[in-house]
Amino acid sequence: MKETAISIRELTKRFGDFTAVDRISFDVYKGEIFGFLGANGAGKTTAMRMLCGLSFPTSGSGTVAGFDVMREGEMIKRHIGYMSQRFSLYDDLTVMENIRLFAGIYNLTPYRTRRRAVELLSRLNFLGERHTLVGALPLGWKQKLAFSIATLHSPEIVFLDEPTGGVDPITRRQFWELIYEEANRGTTVFVTTHYMDEAEYCARVSIMVDGEVRALDTPAALKRQFATDSMDGVFRTIARGAKRAE
Amino acid sequence: MDVIEINRLSKRYGQVRALDEVSLSVGRGELFGLIGPDGAGKTTLFRLLTTLISPDSGAATVEGLDIVHGYRRIRELVGYMPGRFSLYPDLTVEENLNFFAALFGTHVQDAYDLVAPIYRQIEPFKNRRAGKLSGGMKQKLALSCALIHRPSVLFLDEPTTGVDAVSRSEFWDMLAGLKAKDITMLVSTPYMDEAQRCDRIALCNEGRILGIDTPAGIVSRFDSRLYAVSAGNMFTLLQATRTFEGVDACYPFGSTHHIVAGGNFDAAALDGHLKADGLQDVRIAPCMPTIEDVFIKLMQR
Say whether the ipTM exceeds 0.90: no
Q: Is the pLDDT of residue A245 over 70?
A: no
Listing DSSP states for B88-140 in one string gives -TTSBHHHHHHHHHHHTT--GGGGHHHHHHHHTTTGGGTTSBGGGS-HHHHHH
**Chain A, nearest residue to B203 by Cα:** A168
Q: Which H/E stretch holds residue B241? A: helix B234-242
pLDDT per residue of chain B (301 residues) written in tens, 0 to 9: 899 999 999 999 998 899 999 999 999 999 999 999 988 999 999 999 999 999 999 999 999 999 999 999 999 999 999 988 889 999 999 999 999 999 999 999 999 999 999 999 999 999 999 998 887 889 999 999 999 999 999 999 999 887 888 888 889 999 999 999 999 999 999 988 899 999 999 999 999 999 999 999 999 999 999 999 999 888 899 999 999 999 999 999 988 999 999 999 999 999 999 999 999 999 999 999 999 999 999 998 7
Please tell me which of the candidates B136, B167, B254 has its beta carbon nearest to residue A230: B254
* B 227-246 residues inside an 8 A Cβ radius of A: 234-235, 238
- The verdict on B131 and B250 lying in the same domain is no
Listing DSSP states for chain A in one string gives -PPEEEEEEEEEEEETTEEEEEEEEEEEETT-EEEEEE-TTSSHHHHHHHHTTSS--SEEEEEETTEETTT-HHHHHHHEEEEESS----TTSBHHHHHHHHHHHTT--HHHHHHHHHHHHHHTT-GGGTTSBGGGS-HHHHHHHHHHHHTTT--SEEEEESTTTT--HHHHHHHHHHHHHHHHTT-EEEEE-S-HHHHTTSSEEEEEETTEEEEEE-HHHHHHHTT-SSHHHHHHHHHTT-----
What is the tens place of the pLDDT at every residue in B268-288?
999 999 999 999 999 999 999
**Chain A, nearest residue to B121 by Cα:** A245
Mutation target to probe the A interface, by most A beta carbons within 10 A, among B133, B250, B255, B258 is: B255
Please tell me which of the candidates B161, B169, B295 has its beta carbon nearest to residue A169: B295
**A8: amino acid identity, one letter:** I
Q: Is B292 on the interface with A (CB under 8 A)?
A: yes
- The verdict on B21 and B115 lying in the same domain is yes
**Chain A, nearest residue to B160 by Cα:** A194
Decide: helix, strand or coil at residue B281: coil
Chain A hits for B139, CB-CB cut-off 8 Å, are: none
Chain A hits for B165, CB-CB cut-off 8 Å, are: 194, 196, 232, 235-236, 239
- Separation between Cα atoms, residue B288 and residue A230, nearest integer Å: 15
Residue B25, sorted as left (phi over 0), alpha (psi -120 to 50) or beta, turns out to be beta
- The verdict on B147 and B19 lying in the same domain is yes
- The verdict on B32 and B178 lying in the same domain is yes
Residue B21, sorted as left (phi over 0), alpha (psi -120 to 50) or beta, turns out to be left
**Chain A, nearest residue to B204 by Cα:** A168
* Shortest Cα–Cα distance, A240 to chain B (Å): 7
Instruction: Give the total number of structural domains in chain B.
Output: 2
Contact B210, B298 (CB under 8 A): yes
What pLDDT sits at residue A159?
97
| Mean pLDDT (whole number) for A13-30 | 96
Q: How far is CA A175 from CA A181, B4, B196, in A?
A: 10, 37, 25
- The verdict on B18 and B155 lying in the same domain is yes
What pLDDT sits at residue A246?
47
CB contact under 8 A, B135 and A173: no
Query: Does CATH number 3.40.50.2300 belong to domain A4-88+156-239?
Result: no
Q: How far is CA B186 from CA A51, A55, B86, B236, in A?
A: 41, 42, 18, 42
pLDDT, averaged across chain A: 93
| Mean pLDDT (whole number) for A105-115 | 95
Decide: helix, strand or coil at residue B7: strand
CB contact under 8 A, B165 and A170: no
* Shortest Cα–Cα distance, B189 to chain A (Å): 9
- The verdict on B153 and B230 lying in the same domain is no
**Chain B, nearest residue to A37 by Cα:** B164
Contact B298, B284 (CB under 8 A): no
- A94-99 CB contacts, 8 Å cutoff, 24+ apart: A94/A130, A94/A131, A94/A132, A94/A133, A94/A134, A95/A121, A95/A126, A95/A129, A95/A130, A95/A131, A95/A132, A95/A134, A95/A137, A95/A145, A96/A130, A96/A131, A98/A134, A98/A145, A98/A149, A99/A149, A99/A152
Query: Structure pTM?
Result: 0.88
Residue B263, sorted as left (phi over 0), alpha (psi -120 to 50) or beta, turns out to be alpha
**Chain A, nearest residue to B169 by Cα:** A236
- The verdict on B46 and B127 lying in the same domain is yes
User: Would you list the domain boundaries of chain A?
Assistant: 4-88+156-239
Q: Inter-axis angle of helices B135-147 and B93-103, to 10 degrees?
A: 20
User: pLDDT tier at A87 (50, 70, 90 boundaries)?
Assistant: low
What pLDDT sits at residue A93?
97
- The verdict on B142 and B242 lying in the same domain is no
Q: Is B164 on the interface with A (CB under 8 A)?
A: yes
Worst-scoring range by mean pLDDT, A111-125, A228-242, B263-277?
Answer: A228-242
CB contact under 8 A, A39 and B161: no
Q: Is the pLDDT of residue A85 over 80?
A: no
Chain B hits for A220, CB-CB cut-off 8 Å, are: 255
- Separation between Cα atoms, residue B222 and residue B98, nearest integer Å: 49
The CATH number of the domain holding residue B108 is 3.40.50.300
CB contact under 8 A, B166 and A239: yes
Contact A38, A44 (CB under 8 A): yes
| Mean pLDDT (whole number) for A32-56 | 93
The CATH number of the domain holding residue B233 is 3.30.70.2070
Residue-range definition of the domain harbouring residue B83: 4-219
- The verdict on B198 and B244 lying in the same domain is no
Contact B167, A39 (CB under 8 A): yes
CB contact under 8 A, A246 and B134: yes
| Mean pLDDT (whole number) for A7-27 | 96
